[in-house]
Structure formats: structure tokens, C-alpha cells
Amino acid sequence: MSESDRFHPNVPGVAQSDRLVPINLRQSGPTPVQMLISTRVRKSPFWHMSIEAGCWRAEVYNRMYHPRGYVRPEDGGAMAEYDALVNRVTLWNVAVERQIRVRGPDAEAFVNRVITRDASKIAPMHGKYTILCNERGGILNDPVLLRLAEDEFWFSISDSDLGMWLQGLNVGLGHDVEIDEIDVAPVQVQGPLSEDLMVDMFGESIRELRYYELMESELAGCSVLVSQTGFSGEKGYEIYLRDATLNAEAMWYAVLGHGARFGLRVIAPAHHRRIAAGILSWGQDMDAETSPFQVNLAYQVPRKKEADYIGRAALEAQRDRIEAGDYPFDLKLVGVKMGGAPITDYAPDFWLIARPDGRRAGYVTSPWWSPELECNIALGYVPWDMTELGTTCLVELPARYTAQSGQPVAAEVVKVPFRPSAHPSAREQARAAGRNGAE
């Protein structure tokens, strides 16, 4: 029996020898099932208000129901939400960004042990985008790390059980810290009118708040922490509500009330805009078997950090091999522009990327239509020999997006981000300054 006879034809041959659990690349299409709402999955304090605002679909993120659509397809769908984001101002329920607090005399030492960047360089009332890796250099999580005080940090986590990992890790490390999930739930206010709306809620001091800087305040009598951060590439803020179980309604309705005259619209987290900005989504563009060197996060791996951290030996070995021209991974994440009809909704599968001769070689992780570029854009994995800008390839899109069923569309590897962001990432800033990698 030949190898081709042993496998189902829906098992594409894409190299993933560097993974213990390969990405499931079977093309199964949409899954027409109803999501069960039960007590096994948590509802955030804002869940019922998201339903009031028109939420009609959701997924599970951090074991919590996560709104993923408010505008119905017949009314413009996700692209109508995109229009509100890039032209006005929007409110997002992102309570799924669970807050893991590390507090105590050894807080800085513990945090420095688990993140790749230098925690000692984060001043109180400031934050940073960070990653945490396992001992093999795989990315466990990419939270925004908030430092409220010398002895207190909050991990605003992406989709993985980081809190339990941190607690288990400290059983062995024995640092004098408390590690707990706390009753804090964030919302995001994103879009070009976000600053004006935030000033209306919190006063003119908001205009002095710098990117990743924090501010204590109150809204509708509720204690909140405000940061100038977000997941969109647009100007935006996050409002972290303390005692969220008690205060959710008061804060939510206050934001809606202030936002009315700015045309505020409640939308789902804007994956169409974050793709254009080159912002990664954990679990979609990377996971615990992905190295930061595969996903353009080399700037998160400092060469000069004094304190040791988990995964350092593996990451430094990976960097040495890459600099010697010996790539330790099968695939690398790139940006792709591609043809086909506009992709205006979430992809149910990792669509396949092929070489010009039709041989399958990689896969798309995050595709969407860019109204500004007037083409489909995507993040995706290709072999290292296909990563040069201008490299041509093919993408196997579903029939609904192609002129002829079964025919792949032409694509090209391009620079990321696809369009400018209100706040360039550290990677973009380093590129502009002529630096390569982290200091």
C-alpha cells in the first residue's frame, strides 16, 4: 500500500515535522451546530448587555463565552462593524481577557523569570506587550502586562490557562507572591474618535496618557484602571473595571451614554483590522509549539537581559541557528495578498497555500478583505524558502470565494503590517530605526 493510499484525501501534505501535534489542516468547512449555553462555560459580567446590544454569535475564549458578531450579515455583517471602527468609535466586550494578578515582595523577580522581556524596565503605572515561553521556546501566552506598583503586576491574558501555569510554576520556584485571577473585566474603546469619547468620560488628562501608560480613575462611581492599548491598530483604550461582578451594568451603560453623541457602536473584537496591523492572535497565528522567531516576534527575545527566564537557552540556540542560515523550523509566518472574492467573515479552516506548481506547502491562519487595499490579505505559514517579499504562491480558497470551483487564487508574500497603525509596534519602530531584533 502506497503512502497516498493510507491517508484520507482530506489530510494535506504540509511539512510539520517540528511539531508534536500538527495543526489540523483538514478542510471541513462551516460547522452548522448550535453553541450550548451551560454553566460549564463562564459568562462575563457584560454577557447579558452584549446580548442586549445585538450579539448573535459567540465562541469560547479562556473558557468564557466571547461575542463575535453584532451586525447581522443582511445588515452588513462584520464589514459594517469595521466601518464603525475605522471611521468613528466602538465598544468591545473583552472580559475574556482574564486578569491574573501577581502581587508580593518577589513580584518583579517572579515576573522577570516568566517573561522574555525585562520586567525591571517596566515602571509602575505602565504596561508592555509580552510573551511567556515554555522551556522549548514555545509561546504559551502573549498578554499585555500591566504594572500597577512595585509589587503588583496584572497579566491581561490571551486564550490559554496561564493562571494555573503560573501557580504551578511557583510551587517549584517558591517566590513570595500571591497569584490569583481577580474580579476585573476590561472593555475596549477603539477608533479615531476614542480619545474624544474618553475625555468626555474621564477628563482632559486622558490626552496626556501615553501609549501603554496607565491611569486610575472612576466612571459612574466605579473604580477603573485605564490604559491606552488595544487590539485594533486604531487609536484606542482599555477600561479595566474593578469588582466587575457588582459594577458591570453601571460602567457599561455609562460608556453607552457618553458614547451616544460620538456614534458609538458595540462591535466584536476587530480581527479584520488587527490582521491589517499585523497583530497576532494566540491559538490562531501561534501556540505553545510556535517559536517567536517564526512569527516576527524576535524583538521579544532580548540579547542583553540580565535575569534568566524560562525558555532562554532554547531561544538563544534557535537564534544562533537562524543567524547561521540553518533554520530550525519547517514554516514561518508571513503576510500575503491574494485574489478571490472579498473574504468578509471568519475562516472555518486553515486554508492551504501551494507553490506555483501546485504543491501544497503551507496554510493561511488569518484572512480578511481589506477595503483600503481592495484585495484579500492574510497571515499564513510558508516554508522558509518562500518568505522573501514578492514570492508568488497560490491559495486554495473555498468555492464561494473563487471564480471557478477548485481553482486556487494567485497570491504574493508582502510586508506586514499591511497598512499603518495608530501605534506602531516595537518591531515596526525597530525596523524604522534600522535595528534588527531586540536590544
Say which residue, 35 or 376, is predicted with more confidence: 376
The full set of domains in the chain, from first to last, is: 1-32+281-289+330-439 (2.40.30.110), 184-263 (3.30.1360.120)
Mean pLDDT value across residues 46-50: 98
- Give me the sheet containing 99-103, strands edge to edge: 126-129, 144-149, 152-156, 99-103, 178-181
pLDDT in tens, 144-163: 999 999 999 999 999 989 99
Class of residue 211 by CB neighbours under 10 A (exposed 0-12, middle 13-18, buried 19+):
middle
220-250 pLDDT, tens per residue?
Answer: 999 999 999 999 999 999 999 999 999 999 9
7-39 pLDDT, tens digit per residue, is: 667 888 899 999 999 999 999 998 888 888 899
What is the predicted pLDDT for the residue at 171? 97
Task: Report helix, strand and coil shares of the chain as percent, to nearest 5.
Answer: 25, 25, 45
- CA distances to 285, 300, 350 from 379, in Å: 8, 19, 11
Reported as a single tens digit per residue, the pLDDT across 319-340 is 999 999 999 999 999 999 999 9
Other CB atoms within a 10 A radius of the CB of residue 222 amount to 20
Give the pLDDT of residue 436.
Answer: 43
**Residue of 74, 56, 76 whose CA lies nearest to 65:** 56
Residue at grid coordinates 547561521 = 324
Q: Please tell me the predicted confidence (pLDDT) of residue 434.
A: 45
| 296 Cβ contact partners less than 8 Å away, ≥ 6 residues apart | 278, 333, 416, 427
The pTM for the full model equals: 0.94
Quickly state the pLDDT bin for 6 (edges 50, 70, 90). Answer: low
Residue type, position 76, single letter: G
Contact 303, 437 (CB under 8 A): yes
Average pLDDT (97-121) is 98
What's the pLDDT score for residue 33? Answer: 85
Instruction: Show the cell assigned to 163.
Output: 493562571
To the question of whether residue 238 is assigned a binding role by annotation, the answer is yes
Question: pLDDT value at position 262?
Answer: 98
pLDDT at residue 439 above 60?
A: no
CA-closest candidate to residue 175, choices 116, 222, 110, 240: 110
